[in-house]
Amino acid sequence: MRGSKLLYAAAVLVLGAASVAVARVQETADEARMAPAILLSREYHEKHLQPIAEEIHRLIDTEQVDGSDFTSIVFHGDEHYLDLFWKGAVPAGITEAVDAWRTRTREAMRHDPAGPVSPDYDVHYRTAAYSRSEMDRAISRFVDVVGNDEAEWSSISPANDGSGLVLSYQPKATKRIAPANAPMRDYATRAERIAGIPVHPQVGSVETPTRGSRTSDAPPWYAGADLRLSDNSRCSTGIPGWVDKRRVLLTAAHCQTSGNVYNGQRVVGEVTAYDSGLDVAVITTGDNTAARFYSSAWDSGDSRPLYGPARLDPGQSACFSGATSGFHCELEVTRVGVHSPSGRTNATEVKSRSGGIAVAQGDSGGPAVANPQGDSMAPVGVIIAGNTDTKTPCSGTSSATTCFSTGYYTPLDPVVSKLGFSAS
């Protein structure tokens, strides 16, 4: 926790609209002004399922079990279980870990007065036709042959159940994979020949980077503040951390890849590294960053602490915080490993369960966070885009903008490995 900090307000031009000023609340008032904690039954159940998902990933990542046939984990929080998709027999190390977790969890729930009467948290083993690595190789084959041609495909990702690939496209635009407006089965047949495994096609447009306009942040910097770029457009500050013992913030690479970035008239820092495939850039800050993020409306100074980081699987809950549209929860992870013709190679897709705002233009670079069970939340990634087909009415935004009910973020794992980032 930082010491008390003077209120700071600066008027800035927001996409040609009227000037606005936002004051950061004093640090001593953070808890009193904190946005109410989000306590939803679904997230409560996810909290009790999360430990076994983390343990399965850990056993695979550390090669304590052979994870070559692992496909995916899919959460079903409302039903109190998760699916573990695996090609072939699940290794004994995994089943033993699951059995031990079942025993611990059911014993613990007997002593939890806030818990449901019969939680019956469980892992369901599901047989998959293909492993995640096989589907990833199929994606590479497809992209190598077709290229990053937006006319032929919009996004491609592994199917959560391991049945093949999920491929979106615009029927009117395709020419090479299938003639324009050809039946979807014709497009699927040709795409399957290229990829070498089944393809599940769906109609969908390309992603829209959410670059566009919390306007008066001051060091130490928080995540989710307004970021003004060299061309005077807007993005958002992202997760704070370290690279090579230097204080940094993340943002989206499509926002800016070199030079200084600003909040109001104040220099936040210089973009010193980026990765186009991840669509993530590193801002080296001249001042300290703080492990906090803005957790309410775009014009509020409410904030929460960050801890972690964490990763999410399909079916889990997520929240986005962007400088233009503010803080949005009630989001659900729907796809992982999403590739796009823009060159992005590892995005995670989330959708608003209510059909409301997930992300808006101007939110790019802001933090994707999880675990809405209390004050602190875990950073899971960097907001990068919205889905063009899911435009939704905007309300409570900092300026006129475009809002989407489906959004995308880059998860932190590849950011750590490729850019040497560690969250603080």
Per-residue confidence (pLDDT) for residue 100, from 0 to 100:
95
Residue 142 has pLDDT above 70, yes or no: yes
Q: What is the mean pLDDT of residues 181-203?
A: 95
Residue 113 has pLDDT above 90, yes or no: no
Per-residue confidence (pLDDT) for residue 210, from 0 to 100:
58
Contacts of 16 (CB under 8 A, 6+ apart): none
Per-residue confidence (pLDDT) for residue 118, from 0 to 100:
53
Radius of gyration, CA atoms only, the chain: 22
**Beta strands 81-86 and 122-127: pairing type?**
parallel
Q: What is the mean pLDDT of residues 122-146?
A: 97
Residue 383 has pLDDT above 70, yes or no: yes
Q: Write out pLDDT tens, residues 251-289.
A: 999 999 999 999 877 899 999 999 999 999 999 997 788
Lowest-confidence region among 9-18, 59-68, 116-125, 235-244: 9-18
Lowest-confidence region among 111-125, 290-304, 322-336: 111-125
For the chain, which domains are there?
41-127 (no CATH), 132-204 (3.30.300), 208-424 (2.40.10.120)
Per-residue confidence (pLDDT) for residue 1, from 0 to 100:
28
Per-residue confidence (pLDDT) for residue 112, from 0 to 100:
60
Per-residue confidence (pLDDT) for residue 76, from 0 to 100:
94
The answer to whether 134 and 90 have CB atoms below 8 angstroms apart is no
Residue 36 has pLDDT above 60, yes or no: no
Contacts of 252 (CB under 8 A, 6+ apart): 209, 210, 211, 235, 238, 279, 280, 281, 364, 365, 382, 383, 384
Residue 30 has pLDDT above 60, yes or no: no
Residue 8 has pLDDT above 70, yes or no: no
- Under the banding of pLDDT at 50, 70 and 90, the label for residue 215 is confident
Mean pLDDT of the chain: 86
Per-residue confidence (pLDDT) for residue 16, from 0 to 100:
27
Q: What is the pTM of this model?
A: 0.81
